[in-house]
Amino acid sequence: MARLDRGPVSGAACGPDIPAIEVQGLSFAYPGAEAPVLEGLDWRVPQGAFALLVGGTGSGKSTLLSLLKPEIAPAGERTGDARVLGENVADMDVRASAERVGYVFQDPENQIVCETVWHEMAFGLENLGLARDEMRRRVAETSYFFGLEDWLHRDTDTLSGGRKQLLSLAAVLALRPRVLLLDEPTSQLDPVAEKNFLHALFRVNRELGCMVVVATHQPRPMLEYATCAYRIEDGRVREVADMASLGRRESLFSDDMLGWGAVRCAKNGVFSRREDNLGSLEPPGDVSSAKKSSELDKSSEFVAQTSLENGSEAFPRTDGSRILQKMHGGSATTLAGSWFRYDRAGGWVLRGLDVAFSAGAVHAVVGGNGCGKSTMLSVLAKTAKLQRGRMVRGAASAALLPQNPKALLVAETVHDELMEWASTCGYDENLARERAASLGLSGLDGRHPYDLSGGQRQLLALAKLLLIGPELLLLDEPTKGLDLASRRIIARALRDHARAGGTVIMATHDLDFAEQVADDIAMMFDGEIACMEPPTDFFADNVFYRA
């Protein structure tokens, strides 16, 4: 990996005794909120630290970090003082902010503004008025550092969520900030990419002396790099004395919560469920009428049998007989010999994909960034159409929760979001209120969806989909930005949906969640399914993909 030239330190000089971040008496309340999210908060982080900021969904992690970056500070009532490297944040101009504080958003869609990777890397540098030669040098060395050179000329909208997150970090680092704030930066990265990302971040911290703060719900992979950790709770921050406690693995299923006998197997420490001990948990939505017989979806069918039988090199022949046999055995959703690409000039994203998902089950799909997981979900949701192959969807109705939940959020308040489809889908306010409460959204009715935390937006978008009762529920990274309590809530909702006869297919990098919730796990690689096994078998055979 290339080494970055730190360059001269810009801005006012500050001694080593001045903290990188110093917050005193900071309080903040969003418009329409019943209580402040931050209240009299004090916080000091030393220069050179690699700090973790942990806390529950909606605890204020994202709010606190954004208040240290004046250009993105949220609207609301604020009191108190915040300083970065000794300078009051309120007094920073745009240039000082860019050169002192770098910020990587939880959602890369909020950060990427250019059509190509190269231009995105150069965008901030252009705004600072750097000379063209200097811009090219910074883009070049930063690209080498992160290994982006092979996709510098790609369109940004063709990148996977994980690659967009890597691009966001690289573009910020090209500005050479002295303090780097990151909000859930690994939430969309696969396990191998996450390890590489964190190692690169570690080098930025150690070699360049850039102070790093990472807000996260998943601190365990970061503990080997972190020098300190802080917990935000009830609007205040305290230092975590026992950092090892952040690495303990917790079960998603507690006896008092689910009552369906989640037990830990002695063998390999793997979680398993006893379906015969399931409690009588009735979901608010009714999907019990989900179809058990498969029905060919003519609108998405595109069969090119001649090309396949002639052995075309572009379309190597695949044997879909096993998949088609499963289809006639009652699979809810099937893809056979499926090929898809976004444009004729681009490579194939799905390459002869064969897979069958049964009804009444939770299916997890894992794999590296860009392997085709999100594309497969789009095909199943009919927002993308196969160029070759067949799709069979036994479910009469389907709903997709995309990686970016904002795509589903269009109203001015949480209440209006929940009621948007009420007249069309036949549910009332009581059911909407019950669903919101079941997903931990009580008390947020008057809040604007964009003022919620990333995790709360994720829960709100899921609540909207569950209210319409789709038989086929498709989820793209459903647990990103969620703490343990919220992940438990989603685990319960997905298992309830499957028990009622629905089908759940989720693309995820959250291996703990997949292991404990899914009935089977498929690994996607190069546009195909490499294996599909029960969780115990899946993780027993893996070296790198382990929960």
Residue type, 345: A
- The domain ranges of the chain are 21-247
CA distance 196 to 204: 12
Could you give the 3-state DSSP secondary structure of residue 163? helix
pLDDT in tens, 509-530: 999 999 999 999 999 999 999 9
Residue 15 confidence (pLDDT)? 67
Q: Which residues contact 62 (CB under 8 A, 6 or more apart)?
A: 106, 183, 215, 453, 454
CA 321 to chain centre: 35
pLDDT in tens, 191-207: 888 888 898 899 899 98
pLDDT in tens, 203-239: 899 988 899 999 999 899 999 999 999 999 999 999 9
pLDDT in tens, 491-514: 999 999 999 999 999 999 999 999
pLDDT in tens, 88-102: 999 999 889 998 999
Average pLDDT over residues 445-452: 90
* Residue of 542 and 412 predicted with greater confidence: 412
**Which residue reads 């998902």 in tokens?**
357
CA distance 476 to 481: 13
Q: How confident is the model at residue 282 (pLDDT cuts 50, 70, 90)?
A: very low
| Residue 315: pLDDT over 80 | no
pLDDT in tens, 15-25: 667 899 999 99
**Which residue reads 């079941």 in tokens?**
438
Q: How confident is the model at residue 357 (pLDDT cuts 50, 70, 90)?
A: very high
CA distance 75 to 55: 22
Say if residues 273 and 261 touch (Cβ distance below 8 Å): yes
| Residue 254: pLDDT over 50 | yes
Residue 330 confidence (pLDDT)? 45
Say if residues 222 and 52 touch (Cβ distance below 8 Å): yes
Could you give the 3-state DSSP secondary structure of residue 389? strand
Q: How confident is the model at residue 190 (pLDDT cuts 50, 70, 90)?
A: confident
| Residue 296: pLDDT over 90 | no
Residue 138 confidence (pLDDT)? 94
Say if residues 432 and 417 touch (Cβ distance below 8 Å): no
Sign for the CA dihedral angle at 312, 318, 319, 324 comes to negative
Q: Pick from 111, 104, 106, 100: which is nearest to 21 by CA?
A: 100
Residue 205 confidence (pLDDT)? 92
Q: How confident is the model at residue 483 (pLDDT cuts 50, 70, 90)?
A: confident
What mean pLDDT is reported for the chain? Answer: 82
* Residue of 270 and 141 predicted with greater confidence: 141
First-to-last C-alpha distance (Å) of the chain: 27
Q: How confident is the model at residue 2 (pLDDT cuts 50, 70, 90)?
A: low
Residue 3 confidence (pLDDT)? 52
Sign for the CA dihedral angle at 229, 231, 232, 238 comes to negative
Q: pTM of the predicted model, to two decimals?
A: 0.74
- Reading the block at residue 80, the tokens are 């108190």
The architecture in CATH of the region 21-247 reads 3-Layer(aba) Sandwich (3.40)
Residue 135 confidence (pLDDT)? 95
| Residue 307: pLDDT over 70 | no
Could you give the 3-state DSSP secondary structure of residue 6? coil
Residue 5 confidence (pLDDT)? 54
Q: Which residues contact 338 (CB under 8 A, 6 or more apart)?
A: 350, 352, 353, 354, 379, 386, 388, 389, 390, 391
Residue 146 confidence (pLDDT)? 82
